[in-house]
Amino acid sequence: MRWIILAWIWVTAWSAEAATFQETFVVNPLADGWSVYGNSNLFAWDARNQRIAVTWDSSQTNSYFYRPLGTTLGENDDFSFSFDLQFSSVAVGVDPDKPDTFEVAVGLNCFQCATNPALERGIGIDPVNGACNLAEFDYFPDSGYGATISPTMISSNNQFASSFTFPLTMDPGALFNIAMSYTASNQTLVTTMTRNGQPFGPIKKTVLGTSFSNFRLDEFAICSYSDAGADGSILAQGTVANITIVTPPPPVNNLTGSIVDGSWVVQFMSNTNWVYTLCRSSGQGVWNDVCEPTPGNGTTLFLRDTNSLSAKAFYRVKAEWP
């Protein structure tokens, strides 16, 4: 997974502050950065009430109402997101051959993984067809064992980290706010909830195990998963509104460039979990690395073009996951 940062020869400034995105659905989201993958009939903009009407129907293919984050998050990044969720109806075991419960899901994922045609979210641990790269809120309505809230993180290679709080029912008609915050220093996902403005829960924390490898997240999505490979099924209707997402600053911050002793040098604030390379182009669309890949140090990083200057050149800084 790679995110390339363009940094042209003139000075480009980046904010070093965390990025906060808020969505109140005042305008049509499909004209404002949101998209639908899968069955569009499962999602509709409720313009009057400024929310998204959602049908979670496991009989249909994996479908998402999603928005790219504009960055890629990993296990070394702090992030958080929150949203309002209200059900109007919930039914599980709607498929007689799949009588158990199935999840309602909202959260962060990886677009490439989520849109894999072979993905079977309900299959659980399965490195071939199972889910990967997830940090999501999962709610399993009661099918006889108690309604369960399960904040879940899944690594790039299908390792699970989940917590299960039950019995805890999200009753139709009540307005729930869900807030989830991941802290990299202790690799813990904390979930807090309110019901009609009052505390609801508490919800157990989700802690990554010592063998948990990594994850890569690049979009926020309302997820209606297919029940392929699962023992349960669901048909639920409700709304999602008031989304807030907080992500770290971009991997290149406060970028400047200048000629020093006959060489082009850029300096910027770097992040420790990225590797940086200075690239040059003559303007023909071909980019060449002009320095060795350099790990970020969490402070100011200097990258120098090790080749002689040309009459005209464009530069960019390439930031990659190690």
Residue ranges and CATH numbers for the domains of the chain are 18-247 (2.60.120.200), 253-320 (2.60.40)
Angle, vertex CA 270, rays to CA 269 and CA 274, nearest 5:
165
Q: Could you read off the pLDDT of 46-77 as tens digits, one per residue?
A: 999 999 999 999 999 999 999 999 888 999 89
Return all residues near 31 (Cβ < 8 A) that are at least 6 apart. none
Q: Could you read off the pLDDT of 71-111 as tens digits, one per residue?
A: 889 998 999 999 999 999 999 999 999 999 999 999 999 99
Which pLDDT score, from 0 to 100, does residue 55 have?
Answer: 98
**CA–CA separation, 85 and 78 (whole Å):** 23
For 112, the enclosing helix (H) or strand (E) is: helix 111-114
CB count within 10 Å of CB 317 equals 23
| Cα of 240 vs its chain's centroid, Å | 16
pLDDT band at 313, cuts 50/70/90?
Answer: confident
